[in-house]
């Protein structure tokens, strides 16, 4: 982690916080090799960035004082990501990556090639999703938590909700079997749909196109979802 994210619950006074979470404790002690008196880069969840000084540190807790939040976090990407629900192990990495890159709205959607068992994974619980998003924010020195929405029915979502969702954006669907290449460095407000492993089936691509999406490809290579998502984001935004 490149910053330590604090929440209101961590504070014991206005400028002093106590960390007891085991993962953060071990990371600060063993990766940062932090000692009493060292300064740490901090962030307030959904707030600003700043720093603080370690007042005490042991195996059970770290007390940080002189905390000041005085810098805004990086600007969010003007991007809404629609993602065919990937395999659970891949899901964790993609959520972290999306949060690191500044995506703030993520829809995990069902589609024909999404296995039903994926929806039963414990990695879709609110706490598990929250954990991965926090890891991504700490990596990217960001503080604002992305919003993740689960969509278990593809057709009603596309027909009833998606038109309003994409109204003020350019909508793209990643699809290798189209003649249109993905635009580069657009900087536009975008809605980007990426299918699961194997991609969206033609029926789903057609539904998305009828809704207002443009099908675009990334060239001759077929990528895994965990590769395609950061590749697409990097191509679309500088």
Q: Check residue 179 and give its pLDDT.
A: 87
Nearest to 15 by CA among 34, 33, 42, 35: 42
pLDDT value at 217 more than 90: yes
pLDDT value at 24 more than 90: no
Q: List the domains of the chain with CATH numbers.
A: 4-71 (2.40.240.20), 79-236 (3.40.1280.10)
Tell me the C-alpha distance between 218 and 175, whole Å: 8
Q: Check residue 165 and give its pLDDT.
A: 96
Q: Check residue 216 and give its pLDDT.
A: 96
pLDDT value at 213 more than 90: yes
* Burial class (CB within 10 angstroms; exposed 0-12, middle 13-18, buried 19+) of 75: exposed
pTM: 0.93
Report the pLDDT averaged over residues 3-12: 94
Report the pLDDT averaged over residues 9-14: 94
Give residue 30's pLDDT band: very low, low, confident or very high (50, 70, 90). Answer: confident
């Amino acid at each position: 982690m490149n910053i330590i994210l604090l929440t209101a619950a961590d504070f014991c006074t206005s400028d002093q916080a106590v960390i007891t979470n085991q993962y953060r404790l071990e990371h600060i002690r063993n990766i940062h090799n932090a000692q009493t008196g060292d300064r740490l880069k901090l962030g307030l969840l959904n707030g600003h960035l700043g720093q603080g000084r370690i007042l005490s540190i042991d195996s059970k807790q770290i007390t940080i004082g002189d905390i000041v939040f005085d810098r805004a976090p990086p600007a969010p990407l003007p991007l809404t990501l629609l993602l065919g629900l990937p395999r659970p192990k891949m899901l964790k990495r993609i959520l972290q990556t999306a949060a690191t890159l500044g995506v703030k709205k993520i829809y995990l959607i069902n589609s024909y090639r999404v296995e039903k068992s994926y929806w039963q994974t414990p990695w879709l619980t609110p706490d598990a999703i929250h954990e991965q998003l926090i890891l991504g924010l700490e990596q990217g020195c960001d503080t604002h938590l992305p919003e993740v929405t689960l969509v278990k029915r593809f057709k009603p979502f596309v027909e009833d909700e998606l038109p309003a969702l994409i109204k003020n954006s350019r909508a793209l669907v990643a699809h290798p079997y189209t003649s249109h290449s993905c635009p580069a460095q657009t900087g536009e407000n975008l809605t980007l749909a990426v299918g699961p492993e194997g991609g969206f089936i033609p029926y789903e691509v057609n539904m998305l196109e009828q809704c207002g999406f443009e099908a675009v490809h990334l060239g001759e290579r077929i990528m895994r979802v965990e590769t395609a998502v950061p590749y697409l984001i990097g191509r679309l935004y500088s």
